[in-house]
Homo-oligomer: A and B are copies of this chain.
Amino acid sequence: MRRTPAIKQALPTRDRILEAASRCFSKHSYDATGLRDIAADAGVDVAYVHRCFGSKERLFAQALAATARPDRLLTGSSDSVAQALAKQLFAHDTDEDINPLDIIVRSLTNPDAARVLREFIVQDFIGPLATKLEQPALLRAAVIAAFLAGIGILRNVLSIKPLLETEGGQLEKLILGTITTTMHATTTSERGKAPGKRRQ
């Protein structure tokens, strides 16, 4: 649901442009979205968008970062991070805010947008998450990122039925269990005999 124009006008112009960009990129592909559309949606001149953000690619990067905000989920111990990550999969079930997943899915196949997405996922999610994990930390964090992206896409984009459960049920428990295992599971061949066993 769009904010009413009255509330939109109350935001500083730069934030209004970022919000308009997030909304446009979440509804249309990267290719189909122009700075002109975003400017119109924000109610500003396209020249001002250019001055503020430079290029579509840079505006896309900033709109993605402003919408996704993975830093909010990555504080505290690995256990509390696991819980926050599992929970956020259910956070966009209302239509009231923009789901960053929609931005990601609509832009995956454009090479410029894919480069932005790759940098964002590696620098803003995998890197910070890896600081909380045991070795191979980057690999574990990347597998968790992939898991969350996959659940998000099959649940929120494709509406795959068994995944439409609400928060707090078996799905959330299973997701939490899978994230926790990926954080702690053994990966070397000496320890490889019980791949699902959690190290304490």
Contacts and interface: CB of A to CB of B under 8 A. Distances in A.
A84 interface: no
Contacts of A174: 136, 139-140, 143, 182, 185, 187
A181 B185 contact: yes
B157 A108 contact: yes
A104 to B, nearest CB: 9
Interface string A164-177: 01000011011111
Given A136-B170, A151-B146, A155-B146, A196 B195 contact: no
Chain A interface bracket (under 10, 10 to 19, 20 to 34, 35 or more): 35 or more
Contacts of A109: 29, 105-106, 157
Contacts of A162: 126, 136, 138-139, 141-142
Contacts of A155: 146
